[in-house]
Amino acid sequence: MTLELLEGHPVHRLASRYYDRDLRIQPVRHDPLYASTLLRSPTHPPLAVGETIADLSGPVFGHLKPGPLDNDLIGNFASGGLALGERIIIHGTVQDQNGRPVPETLIEIWQANAGGRYRHVRDGYLAPLDPNFSGCGRCLTDRDGRYTFKTIRPGPYPFKNGGCAWRPSHIHFSVFGATFTQRLVTQAYFEGDPLIPLCPIANTIKDPRALRTLVATLDMSAAIEFDALAYRFDIVLRGRHATFFENRTEGV
């Protein structure tokens, strides 16, 4: 522990420093290219609401140990065969602001199938559902903060934005803390996808460096021979180099 002065008052700090988020890299809330923001974007500055004892102590998030196929989206919904599409591995680490691993963290993912369709009652895209693919999986990070999923590369899909707007291929990530209120949500795009610079949603993040934190990079060292390519997506929970999280845009 070290003793430092904060606004004239002595406070104890851990040896590791806390790095504030750079608010300049946050996405714009009102963007004419993303039609939905014209009606839904807030008109007042965001408020940072402090955590209370109720947030930190309960309800406590409890979970059963993931099963052997929970992180295998190719096989965890299979009934008459395996999921169809380009087989991939997506893996990485969950780290704190100083690069230290965060173990025993529950990660959930969900995604569209290879044709770009979600298994959801409100998804009316004309691509067919895959009867052997649910698009959902989960796993716990290991002692070194590492996670791995085996899945299908999701297909792009169109969305209503005026004109011919398409979402790039992406996988949604949910990272849980110790309680229900400690949940962060983000999404990973894929390196080299030509739709990323054309996507109105992705490009509400104007800083190219910040957008790159949402891009999974090709990792041939983790590819499986004659089976699957691999992509690496590391998640930084907070600090100046934090991954952008959709539900944590206020920068705290």
Q: Tell me the CA distances in angstroms from 43 to 37, 40, 142, one per residue in order.
A: 11, 9, 42
Which residue among the candidates 21, 138, 153, 172 is catalytic per the annotation? 172
Q: Which of 167, 189, 231, 238 is an active site residue?
A: 167
Active site residue 167: yes
CA–CA distance from 115 to each of 136, 153, 228, 239 (Å)? 16, 9, 18, 36
Report whether 15 contacts 1 (CB < 8 A): yes
Sign of the dihedral through C-alpha 221, 215, 130, 67:
positive
Q: Which of 91, 138, 170, 248 is catalytic?
A: 170
Here the tokens at position 67 are 């099963």
From the candidates 34, 147, 157, 231, which is the catalytic residue? 157
| Residue 231 among the catalytic residues | no
- Told to judge if 118 belongs to the known catalytic residues of this protein, a careful annotator would answer yes
Residue 27: asked if its preceding bond is cis (omega within 30°), the reply is: no
Q: Give me the catalytic one of 118, 147, 189, 231.
A: 118
Whether 111 and 172 have beta carbons less than 8 Å apart is answered as yes
- Active-site residue, 172 included: yes
The catalytic residue positions are 118, 157, 167, 170, 172
